[in-house]
Chain A
Amino acid sequence: MTAFLALLGRELRLALRHGGDSFGALLFFFVAGALFPLAIGPAPATLARIAPGIVWVCALLAALLPLDRLFGADYEDGSLDQVLLSGLPASLVALAKAVSHWLVTGVPLLLAAFPLAVMLQLPAPALPALVGGLAMGTAVLSLLGTACAAIVLGARRGGVLLPVLVLPLTTPVLIFGAAAADAASAGLPVRPHLLLLGAYLAACLPLCPVAAGAALRAAAD
């Protein structure tokens, strides 16, 4: 437990020192979201209809940005070897990375989703459903992203491969997350969608770190 917290603390400290990475993801989220009204037209009825989808797609894409460097820097400078030798199981190393990715990228995106959704004319009653879904969705994305980032580690052009690997796996999240916000704006029950999202998170929580840990071991080999 000490080793896990020590690693998490180190990751967060590094993220704070190199704040540009997570801030870049946040800016990308805003800029990408702001492009839609320009392309589609600013009619409030149209925007309100597609706002949940826009927020969700932009959040997924923004959370992808820092994944490339999640293990890449540690792999190149030898830190990954040191962390794997610390006695902490490789799967817990991966879990610490996923938690730090969520805290550094997921949580800021969650907060930034409020202003973006309001800007896109999302009806106020749909906001809690959107953000509640995003809270679980970004956590799933951090877990899946960590596993895929570990898998492409050491591969040439891994940065290109990564989105191709991660995005198809996140389709359930996108479908149920956007559906929850849609249901809320239509006055329908939100619970089933959020429960399905929770189920996906519950499946990813144990599976992704194990897969990522095995991939890290293979990459160090």
Chain B
Amino acid sequence: MRLTVSSVSAFRGDRLVLDRISFAVPAGGALLLLGPNGAGKSTLLRALAGLKRLDAGEIRFDGETDFAGRAAYLGHQDAIKPGLTAAENLAFIARISGRPAKAGLAALDLSRLADLPARMLSAGQKRRLALARLVVSGAPLWLLDEPTLGVDAASVHAFGQILAAHRAEGGAVVAATHLPLPLPDAAELALGEAAP
């Protein structure tokens, strides 16, 4: 299992935000995307997820260009429905992956809140629920955009253990963050200010 990105370029509007980016992430590997605001970190993550169309280059996962359903993406938004309970918010991904939603809730210490409507959760708890979705998804490739924003120190520590377990199982992680993230010996990729 290996993620290979070869000279990927993408426009956002009229601006070239990704200019011939190449890298590879092996099984169990992790890559941290670094760079100032507007450097294209989020765009690159959306491109890896297959949400953003590439204008040039190629992304292969296990040698395949189409890996829908094998990547889990956590964007800026939590994608939590306020009308559903915490457990129901995970039910959709749980039915697709065949993994129990309970395990995800327990991993981020949300079991107590499982039957509470998500609109009653705090911003940090919603973020933890979004992190729990990664655990339930069982996807081998995790794409994380500022995953620990608004999350307390204890939960960041718990998330570090989750990331370690995911990598020990042969999963790969690509993350963009300005906060310290518990990803030991992660490779780093600096994205510069792209040409205007």
Contact = CB atoms under 8 A, between A and B. Distances in A.
Interface string B43-78: 000000111110000000000000011111101111
**DSSP class of B's interface residues: helix, strand, loop or mixed?**
loop
30 contacts: A3-B96, A6-B91, A6-B95, A10-B84, A10-B91, A10-B92, A13-B88, A14-B81, A14-B84, A77-B80, A78-B78, A78-B79, A81-B73, A81-B77, A82-B73, A82-B79, A82-B93, A85-B49, A85-B51, A85-B68, A85-B69, A85-B71, A85-B72, A86-B69, A86-B92, A86-B93, A86-B96, A87-B68, A87-B96, A88-B69
Which secondary structure dominates chain A's binding surface?
helix
Interface in A110-131: none
Interface in B78-103: 78-81, 83-84, 88, 91-93, 95-96
A171 interface: no
Contacts of A79: 79, 81
B51 A81 contact: yes
A7 interface: yes
A82 B91 CA distance: 13
Interface in A149-188: none
A85 B137 CA distance: 11
Interface of B: 49-53, 68-73, 75-81, 83-84, 88, 91-93, 95-96, 133
A6 B49 contact: no
A77 B69 contact: no
Nearest to A6: B95
B75 A85 contact: no
A203 interface: no
Which 7 A/B pairs are nearest by Cβ-Cβ distance?
A87-B69, A78-B77, A78-B79, A17-B83, A6-B95, A79-B79, A82-B79
B117 to A, nearest CB: 9
Interface in A30-68: none
B39 to A, nearest CB: 19
Interface of A: 2-3, 6-7, 10, 13-14, 17-18, 76-79, 81-88, 220-221
A220 B51 contact: yes
Nearest to B130: A78
Contact of A221 (B52, B69, B92): B52
Given A6-B91, A79-B79, 8 more contacts: A3-B95, A6-B92, A6-B95, A7-B92, A14-B81, A78-B75, A78-B76, A85-B50
Nearest to A87: B69
Contacts of B95: 2-3, 6
Nearest to B143: A85
B18 to A, nearest CB: 14
